[in-house]
Amino acid sequence: MEFRISDRMAAMKPSVIREILKQMSDPTLISFAGGNPAADSFPKEAIARFSAELLAEDPVGMLQYSVSEGVPAVREAMKQFVNRRFHVVRESDEALVVSGGQQVIDFAAKCLVNEGDTVAVEDPAFLGAYNTLRSYGAKLVGVPMEDDGVDLTVLEHVLKTQAPRLFYCIPNFQNPTGKTMSYEKRVGVYELCAKYNVPILEDDPYGELRISGEDVPPIKSLDQKGIVIYAASFSKILSPAMRLACCVCDKGIAQRMVVAKQCCDVHTTVWSQRVCARVLTETDIDAHIEALRDIYRRKANRMLNALDTLCPAIEHTVPEGGMFVWATLPVHIDMPAFVAKCLEQKVAVIPGNVFFVNESVPCQSVRMNYSSPTVSDIDKGVAIMADVLRSM
């Protein structure tokens, strides 16, 4: 049978990143293309122990349906976690347990965006967010990135002239550039969106993975008007397979998002919720996060030093955290050809143009991930990149 695909999905394309990652079954491939946490970053022993304890103590509660908002004790543990440095969850807010940060983007789009509506986004930004927003018929308008975050002049012009239904941003260690939005820019973004009555979707999957510098308050911590929808992911600090994130937003929109969740997966897996709560409340979670930061600091420094030593012609960002380096090739190098030649030599990087609203714009940059490869593979992979660059 030949299925008639909906207009909404017919125009959607597979993720370039996911297509490249299909080649990961090749054990000889060195991948700088993904965004997976480091293999040694998972609290495996704690997850195994709490899983066994909870199944022994309350097997029915672990295996039965639960409420869509999230198990109450888990929501409380998540509130305490996201509030431990800055005042993120306010009295007028609700905290929902969702199945990964991607689901927050999906629910925000489902609840706020109609077919043909404009959504403002950082440009470049997370490809998964673009695809989700487009799946609801959104017209994306990109706001260019500067070294310390989005260009506020362009943002105001877009807010003023196009009345977007939403502004999407990743302030901490942005994907794909690794840049961090300054505090001044965060204030500016909040004030502009409040002025033009445009909700902000603040995606924070990497905020706990700071490897240098000082923590910057989330935009949500500035929120006096309830316009910020904040997503804090646990995929990068516990396990992506647990599919856990916390959505913090005004109670009014939270109620709508609960209905959206009931139409999607009913509720997030109870097992992962309750194990997460035990990890947050019965282990030294900050010590675990500090250990993660050490892992990523070592890998990031290794990649940056290798690029500086072996590929001095490549300019790159110096991220203060997260998982990515944005590397820009010399102007005379054909970027797509460079990516293809690297792949031929068993090194995978992501062409930077796929992260822009308009993929056809000229782009000399590639995204490189340092969290997944081993230190040895980082050295080997960058050396191969240097050979490819010389050959071109």
- Please, are residues 209 and 323 in contact by the beta-carbon 8 Å criterion? yes
| Residue 7: pLDDT band with limits 50, 70, 90 | confident
Q: How much of the chain, in percent, has pLDDT values that exceed 90?
A: 92
* Mean pLDDT, residues 290-313: 97
Q: For residue 27, what pLDDT is reported?
A: 81
DSSP 8-state code for residue 37: P
Crossing angle (nearest 10°) for helices 375-391 and 285-310:
30
Residue 19 pLDDT class (50, 70, 90 cuts): low
Q: How many CB atoms lie within 10 A of CB 379?
A: 17
Q: Rounded CA gap, 76 and 96, in Å?
A: 10
Lowest mean pLDDT across 8-17, 199-208, 307-316: 8-17
- Give the Cα separation of 29 and 373 in Å (integer): 10
> In which band, very low, low, confident or very high, does the pLDDT at 330 lie, cut at 50, 70 and 90?
very high
Q: Structure tokens of 321? A: 């955290």
Between CA 10 and CA 184, with CA 201 as vertex, the angle to 5 degrees is: 135
Is the pLDDT confidence value at 331 over 70? yes
Q: Are 120 and 200 in contact (CB under 8 A)?
A: no
pLDDT mean across residues, the chain? 94
Does the pLDDT at position 61 exceed 90?
Answer: yes
What is the average pLDDT across 318-343?
A: 97
pTM summary value = 0.94
Position 256 scores a pLDDT of: 96
Which is more confident, 21 or 225? 225
Q: Spell out the domains of the chain, with CATH numbers in brackets.
A: 7-42+287-391 (3.90.1150.10), 44-282 (3.40.640.10)
Residue 352 pLDDT more than 90?
yes
Confidence of residue 26 (pLDDT cuts 50, 70, 90): confident
User: pLDDT per residue over 81-124, tens digit each?
Assistant: 999 999 999 999 999 999 999 999 999 999 999 999 999 999 99
